[in-house]
Chain A
Amino acid sequence: QRVTQPEKLLSVFKGAPVELKCNYSYSGSPELFWYVQYSRQRLQLLLRHISRESIKGFTADLNKGETSFHLKKPFAQEEDSAMYYCALCPQGGSEKLVFGKGTKLTVNP
């Protein structure tokens, strides 16, 4: 079980599209999540793949063939600046979350 976020830092300009990459390795069918940590706030769930929701303009599609769960937003806002963590929960619900090392997103004005 491993989650890889290849970019430690990502910087974009306001209004530009943003994509935070996440790849995972797991032999079963995991649940995938994106968590976000804004400055001086607690880590919180942004979205989960089973919900298929768009939260704050972000979407993430689970690609089982490529074992990826990239987070995307068409037009970045300054308030999106934060640390983003991709996480995996193994099939069977053992409640243990495996996190990637995180990507720090900075949206410049």
Chain B
Amino acid sequence: KAGVTQTPRYLIKTRGQQVTLSCSPISGHRSVSWYQQTPGQGLQFLFEYFSETQRNKGNFPGRFSGRQFSNSRSEMNVSTLELGDSALYLCASQGQGLTEAFFGQGTRLTVV
């Protein structure tokens, strides 16, 4: 069974631009969560989607948004990029009733 797939793997953007990251969960998983990973802050929860609805949201500014499609694939968007947004963005999917999260390899975003 294919794992969680994130695209692209690497991105370099300029301050002020916007970016969209994509995540395809494990087949059958309807919950998709996004995390920001940085050396200083570790893993910080961004938001979680279930059946196309945002179910949980972390403490990030409104520049960070996401959505989920009917096939459970999810996208995350960051607008007006700042240097501090440089991080590894991880996506995780979970099956219903299963609390184990399966992670993708992440998208490394560098803002210059």
**Chain A residues with a Cβ under 8 A of chain B:** 31, 33, 35, 42-45, 48, 85, 89, 93-102
**Chain B residues with a Cβ under 8 A of chain A:** 3, 31, 33, 35, 41-45, 48, 50, 55-56, 90, 92, 94, 97, 99-106
**Are A43 and B103 within 8 A (Cβ)?**
yes
**Are A43 and B99 within 8 A (Cβ)?**
no
**15 new A-B contacts at CB < 8 Å, known A93-B97, A97-B45:** A35-B101, A42-B104, A42-B105, A43-B43, A44-B103, A45-B101, A95-B31, A95-B48, A95-B55, A95-B56, A95-B99, A97-B33, A99-B42, A99-B45, A101-B41
Report B-chain residues with C-beta under 8 Å of the C-beta of A94: 55-56
In the bound complex, how far is the Cα of B100 from the Cα of A102, in angstroms? 18
Closest 3 CB pairs of A and B: A101-B42, A99-B43, A43-B103
29 pairs of residues in contact across A and B, judged by CB atoms under 8 Å = A33-B100, A42-B103, A42-B105, A42-B106, A43-B43, A43-B90, A44-B103, A45-B100, A48-B100, A85-B42, A85-B43, A89-B99, A93-B97, A93-B99, A95-B48, A95-B99, A96-B48, A96-B55, A97-B33, A97-B92, A97-B99, A98-B45, A99-B43, A99-B44, A101-B41, A101-B42, A101-B43, A102-B42, A102-B43
